[in-house]
Amino acid sequence: MAKRIVGVDIGNDSIRAVEVTDAAGAKPTVERYHEVPLLDGAARSGDVLEVHTVASTLKRLWSEGGFKSKDVALGMGNQRVLARDLTVPRMPLARIRETLPFQVQDMLPVPVADALLDFYPISEGTGESGPVINGLLVAAIKEAVMANVNAVQLAGLNPVEVDLIPFALTRVHVRGENSRGTVALIDIGAQTTNVVIATNGVPQFVRIIPAGGDEITMALVQRLDMTRETAEQVKRALGIVTAGAAPEHRPAIEVIYESTGQLLNGLRNTLNYFVNSHPNDPISRIILTGGAARLPGLSAALFELTRVTVASNESFNGLRLSRAAASSTIGSEGMSVALGLALGGK
């Protein structure tokens, strides 16, 4: 029987999971997926704050979703995770990982002993002292990772992989036709925006930006004295499309436009940094995903700033779906992280 693995995405207000068989094979199959709500305050930006609450929610998720496997792939991708370019002397990958604590202390915001380190090789080259490997350093706060792992174990599940969320998103959205050339994947969530730039499907650059759609919502709450629920509704209804807007909507549109502009300028600067440091790899298109990416007018505004074609992509495009997955009454929107984690599970 093909190996099954479940990708688990722990969000602020829900936990999502996707079960995949033959994840490493040529034709992985989405067997089932499900989502259950999570009590407010139990997790924030992917960090588990209340282990027992998250564990009990995971048990409910397995019961309601009918997942067959207990092997779980988890993701990390917030301000407590760092991804930076790193070039090291050429040596076996296992040896590189052993030497990381002695090479990267100056790059970390915490002592090496408090971080989990990994290295993702991208290419080989020649430096001043001989052959080198160019890649990405990935560092996560150990305490944050272990809280997520503990919650999964407390739920009776088996964590087999902890992966970087930007890599997971790349597996879903930068594959097939979307993998050709140099592509910028921008995933805008509630509190975190992930930027991954990949060439022919291989990630070259990763940035995790601690900002997202919630900043727009909170600007409406604070400046126009709205409730959070009303602000969310107004944001989703109006967006930054000014044409034909009624006069009474102008104050809200101005707040949304200003808050969105800050995020867009940050994204433009991030893309420009890559382009300036990789002059031979111009970005051919942008794939825009994430819940906050559905803000009306956002993709058009991003195109105006960058002059790069902006497209979207559905999570399950090009994948086989089992009968149970195909007949699910829960939409696949928001399942990208969980699916990408499952596809990367070993």
**CATH class name, domain 4-79+144-177+313-343:** alpha beta
Instruction: Compute the average pLDDT of residues 113-140.
Output: 92
Q: Which residue has the higher pLDDT, 84 or 58?
A: 58
Dist CA 311 CA 243 (whole Å): 22
Using 50, 70 and 90 to split pLDDT, how confident is the model at 172? very high
286/321 Cα distance (integer angstroms): 26
How far is residue 206's CA from residue 184's CA, in Å, rounded to a whole number? 10
Average pLDDT of span 114-142: 92
How high is the pLDDT of residue 1?
43
**82 C-beta neighbours (distance < 10 Å), count:** 21
Question: Once rounded to an integer, what is the mean pLDDT over residues 279-294?
Answer: 91
Question: What are the two backbone dihedrals, phi and then psi, of residue 180, each rounded to the nearest 5 degrees?
Answer: -75, 135
Asked whether the predicted pLDDT for residue 218 surpasses 60, the reply is yes
Domain assignments of the chain as residue spans, ordered by start: 4-79+144-177+313-343, 81-141, 213-312
User: Which tokens hold the place of 50?
Assistant: 């209340």
Bigger pLDDT: 7 vs 44: 7
pLDDT tens by residue, 12-33: 899 999 999 988 877 889 999 9
**pTM value?**
0.89
More confident residue, 26 or 159: 159
With a pLDDT cut of 70, the percent of the chain lying above it is 98
Domains 4-79+144-177+313-343 and 81-141 belong to one CATH topology? no
* Alpha carbon distance 148, 74 (integer Å): 8
Inform me whether the pLDDT recorded for 305 exceeds 70.
Answer: yes
Selected from 3.30.1140, 3.30.450, 3.40.50, 3.30.1490, the CATH number assigned to the domain covering 81-141 reads 3.30.1490
Report how far residue 251's alpha carbon sits from residue 28's, in angstroms, rounded to the nearest whole number: 48
Tokens of 92: 């076996």
State the pLDDT at residue 71: 96
pLDDT of residue 190: 86
What average pLDDT does the chain have?
91
The mean per-residue pLDDT over the stretch 119-127 comes to 91
Q: Are 288 and 186 in contact (CB under 8 A)?
A: yes
Q: Cα separations (Å) of 25 from 4, 304, 343?
A: 12, 40, 9
Report the alpha-carbon distance of residue 129 to residue 136 in Å, rounded. Answer: 20
Q: Looking at the DSSP assignment, which residues form a beta bridge with residue 76? A: 164
pLDDT at 77 over 90: no
Taking alpha carbons only, the member of 232, 338, 333, 345 closest to residue 16 is 338
> Would you say residue 2 has pLDDT above 60?
no
Which residues, 6 or more positions from 172, have their beta carbon under 8 angstroms from its beta carbon? 313, 315, 336, 339, 340, 343
pLDDT tier at 333, thresholds 50, 70, 90 = confident
SS3 158: strand
Select, from the ranges 82-86, 304-308, 325-329, the one with the highest average predicted confidence (pLDDT): 304-308
> According to CATH, what is the number of the domain 213-312?
3.30.420.40
Q: For the chain, how far is it from start to end, CA to CA, in angstroms?
A: 15
78 vs 290, residue with greater confidence:
290
pLDDT of residue 96: 94
How many beta carbons lie within 10 A of that of residue 49, not counting itself?
13
pLDDT category of residue 87 using cuts at 50, 70 and 90: very high
Answer whether residue 120 shows pLDDT above 60.
yes
- Residue 331: its pLDDT value, please? 79
Average pLDDT over residues 130-152: 94
Distances (CA, A) of 43 to 9, 37, 39, 40, 151: 11, 11, 8, 7, 11
Predicted pLDDT of residue 346 = 54
